[in-house]
């Protein structure tokens, strides 16, 4: 996997470089990551969560952060794209609506 750049940003959920056009990457509801199928909205939600939990406010690839089972979370109608990653990293439960 090559290093992400502004020309080829990486998905902060799975780490794959985003290969879609800039227009597709910038479109909120378009699935623009070929690795996990995330949209800009999903990546923004995970970026907000990550920056709140990180003391340095850094956004890292969710799949690469260490497991922190002491952090508990409950999701409501969350997308499976990030629900599975959150379950692996935290004490996380997704509730159906």
Per residue in 17-34, pLDDT (tens digit) is 888 787 887 888 888 899
Where does residue 11 rank: exposed (0-12), middle (13-18), buried (19+ CB within 10 A)? buried
Residue whose token pair is 């290093």: 3
The residue ranges of DSSP E strands in 1-97, in sequence order, are 68-76, 90-95
Where does residue 95 rank: exposed (0-12), middle (13-18), buried (19+ CB within 10 A)? exposed
Written as six digits, the tokens of 71 are 């952090």
pLDDT at 1 over 50: no
pLDDT band at 12 (very low <50, low <70, confident <90, very high): very high
Name the nearest CA neighbour of 47 among 37, 59, 57.
59
pLDDT in tens, 81-96: 889 889 999 999 987 6
The pTM (predicted TM-score) of the whole model is: 0.79
């Amino acid at each position: 996997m090559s290093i992400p750049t502004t020309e080829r940003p990486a998905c902060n959920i799975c780490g794959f470089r985003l290969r879609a056009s800039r227009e597709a990457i910038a479109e909120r509801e378009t699935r623009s990551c070929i690795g996990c199928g995330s949209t800009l909205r999903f990546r923004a939600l995970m970026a907000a969560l990550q920056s709140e939990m990180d003391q340095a406010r850094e956004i890292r690839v969710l799949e690469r952060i260490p497991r922190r089972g002491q952090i508990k979370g409950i999701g409501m109608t969350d997308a499976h794209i990030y629900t599975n990653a959150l379950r692996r990293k935290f004490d996380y439960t997704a509730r159906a609506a």
